[in-house]
Amino acid sequence: MATNHLIERHVFNDLPSLSEALAESVAVTLRNAITQHGQASLVVPGGRTPTVYLPRLAQINLPWQHVFVTLSDERWVEPTSEQSNERLVREHFLQHMQQQPHFISLKTKHAHPDEAIADLDMRLAGLPLPFSLIILGLGADGHIASLFPGMTLDMNSANLCQAATPPAAPSPRISLSLQALINSSRIILVITGKEKRQLVDQLIASPDPAIPFVQLMQSRPVELFETD
Ligand SMILES: O=C1O[C@H](COP(=O)(O)O)[C@@H](O)[C@H](O)[C@H]1O
């Protein structure tokens, strides 16, 4: 049975036009948040797709010193590792900016992300909350941030973070919790490639509650920026 999802789908011809529209839209949200609250928070995903649009977002003309940037999730590796989402943000976003935002890492010295939750929650509590804007990617299996299909997502927990063991990846991860995602002021999912777009069509037509993307879209409005 189809869900009562509140999804707005914006389809683009190619990645450059998606990146351009995304940058314009992100700029409006962050500017409004700065005007209203004096500061703004932006969450960006890891993975491969952001390498395409983050350099364009880095060109947005904003008082970035009033913006706090963090990640939707992190692999439990050193920030110098090629697997690190922090490394990706530094290389494809922060290094391209004239004026630096405040970057909040999701990596700590703890041996396992489970042990880091209290510290990370404190770190994130220093950001403007709810997050002004969360940009998410979508994994081919329907995961968002590092919330994987079949994981138990505690909707009653006040924690901003949750540890995760990905089904097919070498290191454990830390993720923003589903509740932290749901509570944010605006959510954009960037979907690239025919396969992922077909997955979205399929999950909208027959939503499987074990898939975190489905739980998100059933809980609050989500905007999709899509291209083949
Ligand atoms: O592992 C991850 O994967 C998803 C999707 O990434 P992509 O490589 O398919 O673009 C990403 O959203 C998440 O932040 C990342 O850690």
Nearest CA to ligand 1 atom 2: 47
Q: What is the mean pLDDT of each run of 10 residues along the chain (228 residues)?
A: 73 97 98 98 97 98 98 98 98 97 98 97 97 97 95 88 90 97 97 97 94 94 97
CATH 2.60.120.10 fits domain 3-227: no
Pocket perturbation via mutation, ligand 1, pick of 52, 83, 138, 213 by most ligand atoms within 8 A of CB: 138
Q: Which DSSP category does 95 fall into?
A: G
Ligand 1, atom nearest to 143 Cα: 4
Cα pseudo-dihedral 52, 56, 57, 61, rounded to 10? 180
Nearest CA to ligand 1 atom 1: 47
Q: Looking at residue 22, what is its pLDDT?
A: 98
Nearest CA to ligand 1 atom 7: 47
Ligand 1, atom nearest to 144 Cα: 12
Q: Is 132 close to ligand 1, i.e. is its CB under 6 Å away?
A: no
| Both structure tokens of 204 | 């909208």
Give the integer Cα–Cα distance in Å for 102 and 69.
6
Q: Is 70 close to ligand 1, i.e. is its CB under 6 Å away?
A: no
Q: In which element (H, E) is residue 30 found?
A: helix 15-37
Q: Looking at residue 20, what is its pLDDT?
A: 98
Question: CB-based contacts of 199: which residues, under 8 Å, 6+ apart?
Answer: 138, 140, 142
**Bridge partners, residue 75, by sequence:** 173
**Ligand 1 geometric centre to CA of 27 (Å):** 23
**In the chain, domain spans:** 3-227
> What distances in angstroms separate CA 36 from CA 67, 73, 156, one per listed residue?
13, 27, 29
pTM assigned to the model: 0.96
Q: Looking at residue 153, what is its pLDDT?
A: 87
Each residue's pLDDT tens digit, 96-113: 999 999 999 999 999 999
Give the integer Cα–Cα distance in Å for 133 and 29.
7
Each residue's pLDDT tens digit, 46-95: 999 999 999 999 999 999 999 999 999 999 999 999 999 999 999 999 99
